[in-house]
Amino acid sequence: MPPAHPFDDDKLREECGIFGVVGVTDAANFVTLGLHALQHRGQEAGGIVSYHPDHGFNSARRFGYVRDNFTSQKLMETLPGELGIGHVRYSTAGSKGQTQIRDVQPFFGEFSMGGAAIAHNGNITNADALRRELIERGSIFQSSSDSECIIHLMARSLQRNIPQRMEDALRRVEGAFSVVAMTRTKLIGVRDPLGVRPLVLGKLGDGWALSSETCALDIVGAEYVREIEPGEMVVITAEHGVDSIRPFRPKKSRFCIFEHVYFSRPDSIIGDRSVYETRRQIGVELAREMPVEADLVCPVPDSGTPAAIGYAFESGIPYGMGIIRNQYMGRTFIEPTEQIRNMGVRLKLNVNRALIKGKRVVLVDDSVVRGTTSRKIKEMILDAGAAEVHFRIASPPTAWPCFYGVDTPQREKLLAATMSEEEMRSHLGVDSLKFISLDGLYRAVGEASGRDAKSPQYCDACFSGEYPVEPSDMLEKGFQMKAAE
């Protein structure tokens, strides 16, 4: 299992990526490729379930990277069939360090009308209450995952077929969910009524694919068809294609705006917009809102790169790769001594001294979470001889935890939750620190008039503290929501 690294530990992390195909020979091979493209959404573990009429359902779950686990011919031969789904994951904040193989999705259930497997991206905000209720009624849970609640709710449904049982189950669920599931003949995809987490549909020869992002459709050669709409369920068969169902009461979409900022790969498409171009436009807006006199604009690699390009273009300040990322910092790197471990960020990043020395440097990053990495990078830049260091952040201050499928620290560990912008600047020890405004971020993602305060177009709870779905389990545990203004 990949160890935590001090560079990556200071980033918000999407917890899951999901992928499924139907109607293609050796479906599990396509699922493997799709999961490899979605590895950025979850690097702790992965799993695949396939179905073959002669061999039934088969599954494989492994800790670590897709490339290290699902590339052996011997393993892939155990996953035959033309129908398969897969999942890559991080652990949730509450279970970090305690994940067991039984927590790795997809989950499988055997029902009276046949088996079904399910993989879930998101977070069920009433999972604790559902779990208590189900256990009191006799359900026996095999994992610590909130996603397993869906299987148990399906088992207790009185509906006649599996898609209907899934509808029944998901109506009981609160929070954010994008789901891919499979029966013996059907591939199923569902998004929650708010559409918080992504899910897209692709055409793959005579078959079909569902994916968290379009970049995974690209890797398998599938044609992007459209997004699964908020509150939509699609039931897909090789013979009859796509059947669309609307099991939920319609609601206004609240897609996660941080998908635009950081989670999605820059070569993906969201809402018919290039993620790369959106991030570049964030940099343009940031330069308009927060200009500074400087000699060089540098990205904090790799997530800050498109915004830094946009900032340099708009400001007229030259762009340069002042920080170089070591692309070969793999999970097998040995840290044998305390001295080596204390090098921290330097193992993954190195400063381009010849470019930095004597310059007033603008560092562009996607976010500031705990601030630990930002401080280390600032020290590296100053050690290399920079005259000034100015941070420009391509998102508003992250002051609130996410409860919809993102691994976020407790609120008191978020720098912006306990400090003003000036206090953060002093804490990081930089000459200036500025964040894009929430309105500026909305303009960058295509909302020309900015954020509608009365009815926000996206879920931006991590910035605003305004949660579109009440996090009922966390409120039971004492979480204090933002007071109504």
Residues annotated as catalytic (active site), given as ranges = 16
**Burial environment of residue 434 by CB neighbours within 10 A (0 to 12, 13 to 18, 19 or more):** middle
Amino acid of residue 187: L
Give Cβ neighbours of residue 444 (< 8 Å, ≥ 6 apart). 260, 278, 281, 282, 284, 285, 436
Amino acid of residue 269: I
- Do 408 and 12 touch, CB atoms closer than 8 A? yes
E strand intervals along 161-222:
175-182, 187-191, 200-204, 207-211
* Element (DSSP H or E) covering residue 360: strand 360-365
**Burial environment of residue 404 by CB neighbours within 10 A (0 to 12, 13 to 18, 19 or more):** buried
DSSP 3-state of 269:
strand
Gap between the Cα atoms of 328 and 334, Å rounded: 13
Ramachandran category for residue 54: left, alpha or beta (phi over 0 → left; psi -120 to 50 → alpha): alpha
Tokens 């299992």 label which residue? Answer: 1
- Over the Cα atoms of the chain, what is R_g? 23
Amino acid of residue 37: A
- Do 430 and 389 touch, CB atoms closer than 8 A? yes
- Do 421 and 433 touch, CB atoms closer than 8 A? yes
Tokens read off for 93: 């904040």
Whose CA is closest to 406, among 68, 89, 84? 89
Gap between the Cα atoms of 425 and 398, Å rounded: 15
Strand ordering across the sheet containing 360-365: 296-299, 360-365, 388-393, 432-435
Ramachandran category for residue 155: left, alpha or beta (phi over 0 → left; psi -120 to 50 → alpha): alpha
Q: How many Cβ atoms sit within 10 Å of the Cβ of residue 105?
A: 30
DSSP 3-state of 27:
helix
Gap between the Cα atoms of 305 and 180, Å rounded: 32
